A = this chain, B = another copy of it.
Amino acid sequence: MQFNSEKPIYQQLFDLIQLDILEGKWPEGGRVPSVRELAGNLEVNPGTVMRAYEQLQEEAILFNQRGRGLFVADNAKELILKNQQKEMIQKEIPQFVKKMKQLQISLEEFVTVFNRS
C-alpha cells in the first residue's frame, strides 16, 4: 500500500478504514484485522495502525470486546456518514465556496467537473 506523504499515515489509515466500512469491505458487526496483521499487510508500523484504531474507537466506529478483539459497530456506516456529512456541509463547503469566489470560479465550472466524474 502506498501512502500519500502529505498527510500523517495514521490519518490516511483512519480515512481509508472508514471508506472500507462504507463500501462494505469491513462489514458491520464483523471483527477487524489485528494490529499486527494489518500492519504487516500494509507494510506500516504497528504503532501507526494502533493510532488509527484508537481514533476509530473514540468515534465509536470500532469497539473493543476485551480479549476477543476489535469489532465494527453495528451502526458504523450511519455514524460515519452522519459525522462526515456534517463536517462537510457545515465547514468544508462554505470554506470551499469562499475560495471559489475569491478566485472568480463560476458555479458552472464546478458543475461541469461534478457531472464529468
Which chain A residues have a beta carbon within 8 Å of chain B's beta carbons? 3, 5, 8-9, 19, 22, 45, 63-67, 81, 84-85, 88-89, 92-94, 96-105, 107, 109-111, 113-114, 117
List chain B residues, Cβ under 8 A from A111: 107
Given contacts A93-B109, A94-B113, A110-B114, 13 further A-B contacts (CB under 8 A): A5-B63, A5-B65, A5-B66, A19-B102, A81-B103, A85-B103, A85-B104, A93-B105, A93-B113, A96-B96, A97-B110, A98-B117, A107-B111
Residue of B nearest to A80 (CB): B103
Count identical subunits in the complex: 4
Sample (14) of A-B pairs whose CB atoms are under 8 Å apart: A3-B66, A5-B63, A8-B66, A9-B66, A19-B102, A85-B105, A88-B99, A93-B109, A94-B113, A97-B113, A100-B114, A107-B111, A107-B114, A110-B110
A19 to B, closest residue via Cβ: B102
Complex Cα gap A31–B67 (Å):
30
Decide yes or no: A102 and B66 within 8 Å by CB, A97-B113, A113-B97 being known contacts.
Answer: no
Contacts of A85 in B (CB 8 A): 103-105
